[in-house]
């Protein structure tokens, strides 16, 4: 994985440094996703905010919010706890840089796996936990916006080996759970297009280390 500050602006780096320090101080497992994640695993991409998934018990949300305020963050919701209970998201702003940070309060098995699988990337004086290329692809496939599909293309184009079994498993799970077949269709379209571009070899696949359970009927 690239270990460079170059893909990120100084304002994003300032906010990311403060955010990682907050999570380290509170000992909150986490993984950076979104455009910042794409920048660090694929190639530079313009972004003005940060997205992260954290794993923290409900009884620690208030303490995290109080600590965030002490670390120089404000909240984009008038009642952050009420908003978090409703959406499982904390909306932060790093006051010094003005950068917004969307913090997803993880609850799904996939989110726990994504955090556990995250790669440690050194930046400045911190270590950033970044979701793997596979897990970024999965999150982008679920989001499904044109820019998300473009991000999947970026990751696929620069990653020599991908665990396609893992990607397809979770994309299928989300596609069926959300009753959105386009989630799976969009992914397969990108993989097919890349295979056509590279020729018969397509995207190199490495065997998944995850033991997939039998699908429930």
Closest CA to 133 of 174, 169, 102, 167: 167
Give whole-number Cα distances, 7 to 4, 64, 153, 203, in Å: 7, 29, 18, 24
CATH architecture of 10-131: 2-Layer Sandwich (3.30)
pTM for the model stands at 0.88
Domain boundary assignment for the chain = 10-131, 135-200
Reading the chain (217 residues) residue by residue, the pLDDT tens digits are 444 455 789 999 999 999 999 999 999 999 999 999 999 988 888 889 999 999 999 999 999 999 999 999 999 999 999 999 999 999 999 999 999 999 999 999 999 999 999 999 999 889 999 999 999 999 999 999 999 999 999 999 999 899 999 999 999 999 999 999 999 999 999 999 887 776 544 555 666 655 444 444 3
Q: Is 129 helix (H, G, I), strand (E, B) or coil?
A: strand
Q: Which residues contact 23 (CB under 8 A, 6 or more apart)?
A: 30, 54
Closest CA to 51 of 150, 135, 108: 135
Rounded CA-CA distance 26/37 in Å is 22
Rounded CA-CA distance 44/12 in Å is 13
């Amino acid at each position: 994985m690239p270990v460079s500050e170059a893909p990120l602006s100084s304002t994003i780096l300032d906010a990311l440094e403060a955010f990682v320090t907050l999570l380290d101080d509170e000992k909150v497992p986490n993984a950076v996703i979104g455009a910042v994640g794409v920048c660090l695993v694929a190639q530079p991409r313009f972004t003005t905010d940060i997205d992260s998934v954290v794993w923290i018990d409900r009884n620690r949300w208030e303490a995290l919010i109080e600590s965030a305020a002490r670390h120089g963050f404000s909240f984009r919701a008038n009642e952050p706890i009420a908003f978090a209970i409703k959406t499982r998201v904390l909306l932060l702003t790093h006051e010094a840089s003005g950068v917004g940070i969307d913090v997803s309060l993880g609850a799904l098995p996939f989110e726990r796996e994504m955090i556990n699988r995250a790669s440690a990337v050194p930046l400045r004086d911190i270590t950033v936990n970044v979701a793997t290329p596979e897990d970024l692809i999965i999150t982008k496939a679920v989001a499904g916006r044109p820019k998300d599909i473009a991000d999947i293309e970026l990751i696929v184009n620069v990653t020599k080996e991908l665990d396609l079994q893992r990607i397809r498993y979770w994309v299928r799970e989300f596609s069926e759970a959300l009753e959105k077949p386009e989630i799976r269709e969009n992914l397969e379209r990108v993989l097919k297009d890349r295979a056509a571009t590279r020729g018969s070899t397509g995207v190199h696949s490495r065997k998944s280390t995850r033991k997939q359970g039998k699908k429930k009927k």
